[in-house]
Structure 1
């Protein structure tokens, strides 16, 4: 609190020079993108943190044994389909997945939920339908492709993943307290922990957004292969919340529907803020394996589903 108070005093004292410093067009764009990413993501991060705390404190381990199939291979698609009922974004799904693993859910199922929840929930699919009124097949393609990626990644982790690759931070705040105290302690911990990585990711996304010239987009759109790769990379760099990315994809009218579908599949699963949050919640060893594999699979599945549905 003392540091925050000192920073506020310094901002008041130096508000004139800071105002002139931020008056440049580039810095204004950076600030706009940075703030917009935070504003889009913050409500869903808070929602996810609250749900994560409920799972960690109030839901007994025996519930997950009854709710999910006993066989891990069947628990993965069941957890992926459970993402349909959670109206949240990737910022909220990361702490929820961490809590699911702590409550005894097999990591493969929790990771399938992490990928599916921000991509196939009703809010995201409705936003996609509104953004593409002339192409209702985009809604079906996005839902099918995202669910396939989530389930396949869960199965891959079940087959190839190792327990030591996931290192959840120690949570002493959940032990030795009443349920109410543990709930609020878990909320404070996750907001500070996940929120810090969200700020880092938002700052990186804003920096990339300012530095990439818009003229490059048109050149890339003319090549079918490069356009897919370009929008996949752009989805990672822009780090747009899954509830808003459909409108950005619709605005990229110079690109094909296939490349825009890849943008919508990759974005909720692999972006800068999500990568940084995964590193903070699950550890760097997890992130360096999981994020690249998800990125490659999302591109391949997006292109394949587009060839069938679009």
Structure 2
């Protein structure tokens, strides 16, 4: 009897997916909505936190959904072989083309990691694959449109984000091509293989579902953190940072790494820090899609620990510097 029970338990667990967990959380939130409303009405600070949280999530969700749908379509119908065919043989040109291709291949940073690894496995130069890894989640149309919506009337912010992120991808691709050691990449690509997973519709549905649930989870966490931060941390702290440009840049770079917000929604989180200098918000949006905690974990599992411990810290420094310099050139020094 025991083996059968274990088998049944294993079958039940195998049928529990992220979709079931997501539905459970939504149902629980709906059931707790009325009791929590009374609690919110009893505290002005809780009302403020709830308003900030809802505002960030509601503004970001449409772009998140659109981004994951497009990402799923790319996973189903755009193969790494197609990308490889358009890459020049010369490494420097391949890096430039791969980085620029990120502008037409929407998707979150989570999806770009396995795609970049598949490109490597099919012979794409490592510098070009890593340039694509960094550019795809940062300069694609959905991210740039969401940035424009989050910062209405500030086209310079959109331009600065594009330039800072693209520069980061180009520099990191070039550095890896020049100094990187292929022996540092020790892991093989595991997990969902879009070329061996059934029909195109199945690949599309599974990829979109996976990206949506994973990205929504990080968005929710980021929005919650921002809401709590705005309520718990005294306003005088943010006012002080507003006058300390270098310190605010460092703080926002650290927050980008810790919060791990999806690139399709991070502009709304950055905009919620209303008293921060524009250049510090730009750093948040450039650093986040390049390196954060979830990306470090994914890069470790996909490329290997030897790769991640070298690539991640250099990416953080390069992204912060690129955002800072482009911010100074395009946005100007905060007054």
Distance 1:2 1:168, change over 3 A: closer
**1:192-231 alpha-carbon deviations (Å, 9 max, x no partner):** 3444344344434443343322211222333343243344
| Distance across 2 between alignment mates of 1:111 and 1:248 | 31
Residues 167 and 282 in structure 1, CA contact (< 8 A), matched pair in contact too: no
**1:51-79 alpha-carbon deviations (Å, 9 max, x no partner):** 33333332344312212223444322222
Distance 1:15 1:167, change over 3 A: same
Distance 1:262 1:9, change over 3 A: closer
Partner of 2:234: 213
Partner of 1:101: 117
Q: TM-score, normalised by structure 2?
A: 0.67
Superposed, which structure 2 residues align to 1:1-310 within 5 Å? 1=20, 4=23, 8=27, 12=31, 16-23=34-41, 24-85=43-104, 92-103=108-119, 104=122, 105=124, 108-117=127-136, 119-120=138-139, 121=141, 123=145, 130-132=152-154, 140-158=159-177, 159-160=179-180, 162-164=184-186, 169-171=190-192, 175=196, 177-233=198-254, 239=261, 241-244=265-268, 251-252=274-275, 255=277, 260-270=278-288, 275-279=292-296, 281-283=298-300, 285=305, 290-308=311-329, 310=332
**1:268-300 alpha-carbon deviations (Å, 9 max, x no partner):** 43279x735425644465766555433322332
Distance 1:152 1:21, change over 3 A: same
Name structure 2 gaps, 5 residues minimum. 1-19
Residues 56 and 268 in structure 2, CA contact (< 8 A), matched pair in contact too: no
Tell me how many residue pairs correspond in the alignment. Answer: 295
| Distance across 1 between alignment mates of 2:154 and 2:288 | 22
Distance 1:176 1:47, change over 3 A: same
Structure 1 vs Structure 2 CA RMSD: 4.1
Residues 147 and 158 in structure 2, CA contact (< 8 A), matched pair in contact too: yes
Distance 1:202 1:81, change over 3 A: same
